[in-house]
């Protein structure tokens, strides 16, 4: 799978300089990366839930939802989860354009199949804030001319924002979990 510079993936990746509120949002996440990281690792693993749509992946993928406009996670679970991560929730509450948020835990040997996240009527910006990124772990987008799978390397503490309607896939072929805070954000507020 070729690795390329992120500028070559346009329009999949979002240019944060084109949106002041997205730029402020991702900057705030990055500035608070260590706090979010530390708070996540205080969560008891027994509170994680398996990703509900098993057909989308092989292996073991869990989530810890904080906000969910899809109704996949029951509200009492979200309330419990938000109480477990008060500092992360306080950061997210400063940005009303956040539609969905939660931690994604991809266990060793797990592969998320190629898919598009088009659950919303209009595209939102999907933002990943990687907390832990072991070797042999990645995300790729079907992009370019001619199209091909373009791999983007996550960097802990550095946001990756992309149009969720583009086909993408992810994998963790390492020996330890990959953890990302995922947010879906309106880009036209």
Local confidence pLDDT in tens for the 189 residues of the chain: 344 444 444 457 887 777 888 999 999 999 999 999 999 999 999 999 999 889 999 999 999 999 876 665 567 788 999 999 999 999 999 998 898 999 999 999 999 999 987 665 566 889 999 999 999 999 999 988 888 999 988 999 999 999 888 899 999 999 999 999 999 998 764
Q: Which phi and psi angles does 142 have, rounded to 5°? A: -85, 105
Host H or E run for residue 89: helix 86-93
Residue 142 tokens, joined: 């079907």
Rounded to 10°, the helix 33-40/86-93 angle is 140
Residue 97 tokens, joined: 């354009």
Closest CA to 100 of 187, 186, 189: 186
Distance of CA 93 to the CA centre of its chain: 17
Residue 149 tokens, joined: 């799978």
Contacts of 184 (CB under 8 A, 6+ apart): 98, 99, 100, 101, 117, 120, 124, 125, 126, 127, 164
Rounded to 10°, the helix 33-40/20-31 angle is 60
pLDDT at 181: 98
Query: How far is it, in rounded angstroms, from Cα 154 to Cα 139?
Result: 8
Query: How far is it, in rounded angstroms, from Cα 6 to Cα 27?
Result: 18
Q: Which phi and psi angles does 92 have, rounded to 5°? A: -65, -35
The model's pTM is 0.89
Count of C-beta atoms within a 10 Å radius of residue 92: 22
Say if CB 143 and CB 9 are below 8 A apart: yes
pLDDT in tens, 124-142: 889 999 999 999 999 999 9
């Amino acid at each position: 799978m070729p690795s390329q510079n992120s500028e070559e993936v346009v329009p999949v990746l979002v240019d944060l300089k084109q949106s002041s509120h997205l730029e402020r949002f991702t900057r705030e996440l990055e500035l608070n990366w260590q706090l979010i990281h530390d708070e996540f690792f205080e969560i008891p693993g027994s509170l994680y839930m398996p990703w509900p749509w098993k057909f989308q992946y092989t292996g073991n993928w869990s989530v810890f939802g904080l906000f969910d406009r899809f109704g996949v996670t029951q509200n009492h679970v979200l309330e419990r989860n938000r109480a477990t991560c008060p500092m992360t929730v306080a950061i997210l509450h400063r940005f009303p354009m956040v539609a969905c948020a939660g931690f994604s835990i991809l266990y060793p040997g797990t592969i998320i199949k190629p898919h598009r996240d088009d659950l919303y009527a209009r595209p939102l910006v999907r933002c990943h804030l990687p907390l832990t990124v072991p070797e042999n772990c990645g995300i790729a987008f079907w992009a370019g001319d001619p199209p091909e799978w373009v791999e983007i390397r996550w960097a802990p503490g550095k946001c990756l924002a992309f149009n969720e309607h583009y086909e993408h896939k992810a994998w963790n072929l390492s020996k330890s979990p990959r953890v990302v805070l995922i947010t879906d954000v309106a880009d036209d507020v």
